[in-house]
Amino acid sequence: SLTAPVITINTLAGDDVINATEKGQDLQLSGTSNQPDGTTITVTLNGINYTATTDASGNWSVTVPAANVSALGEANYSVTASVTDTAGNSASTSHGVLVDSAIPVVTINAIATDDVINAAEVATGQTLSGKVSGAA
């Protein structure tokens, strides 16, 4: 008897978030299927299709070129993978990935009002404060 096709997508970029460093690199998309060695898997990210094939263990992977990764804007994206068996039955799944490549900016407020700590201020201790912007 035939088993209906099944497909999965593994975690992307280690944490499902593409950061500033990863946005300039190739992105590996991978997963598994219960289909035989050599079965074609179609993977879609941002409207672009990539083709992978299963190995003898049902694993598949495909590389999204760095140029395509760097073209992604700051947003949530859905990666879709689909497979069709020899009988024409198909399966697909989706997996979310967030592009968050904005680099945070840290601003430190003036210390001791004049950024100079004198002897009296050393004795009383000082509080450092500031803010972070651009962080998710």
Which CATH number covers residue 43? 2.60.40.10
- 84 with 31, same domain: the answer is yes
Whether pLDDT at 1 is above 50: no
Tokens standing for residue 131? 């803010």
Task: Indicate whether 1 belongs to any domain.
Answer: no
- 30 with 88, same domain: the answer is yes
Confidence class for position 135, pLDDT limits 50, 70, 90: low
Task: Indicate whether 115 belongs to any domain.
Answer: yes
- 71 with 113, same domain: the answer is no
Taking residues 19-32, report their average pLDDT.
96
Task: Indicate whether 41 belongs to any domain.
Answer: yes
- 86 with 110, same domain: the answer is no
* DSSP secondary structure of the chain: -PPPP-EEEPPSTTTSEE-TTGGGS-EEEEEEESSPTT-EEEEEETTEEEEEE--TTSEEEEEE-HHHHHT--SSEEEEEEEEE-TTS-EEEEEEEEEE--PPPEEEEPPSTTTT---HHHHHH-----EEEES--
- 14 with 67, same domain: the answer is yes
Half-sphere exposure of 135 (CA within 13 A, CB side): 7
- 133 with 68, same domain: the answer is no
Whether pLDDT at 7 is above 80: yes
Whether pLDDT at 65 is above 60: yes
Burial of 46 (0-12, 13-18, 19+ CB in 10 A): middle
Task: Indicate whether 2 belongs to any domain.
Answer: no
Tens digit of each residue's pLDDT (9 = 90 or more) over 74-124: 999 999 999 999 999 999 999 999 999 887 788 888 887 888 888 888 888
Number of domains in the chain: 2
Query: Regarding predicted confidence, which is higher, 19 or 132?
Result: 19
- 46 with 111, same domain: the answer is no
Residue 116: give the domain boundaries: 104-136
Task: Indicate whether 125 belongs to any domain.
Answer: yes
Interatomic CA distance for residues 107 and 19, integer angstroms: 21
- 133 with 72, same domain: the answer is no
Taking residues 20-30, report their average pLDDT.
96
- 35 with 84, same domain: the answer is yes
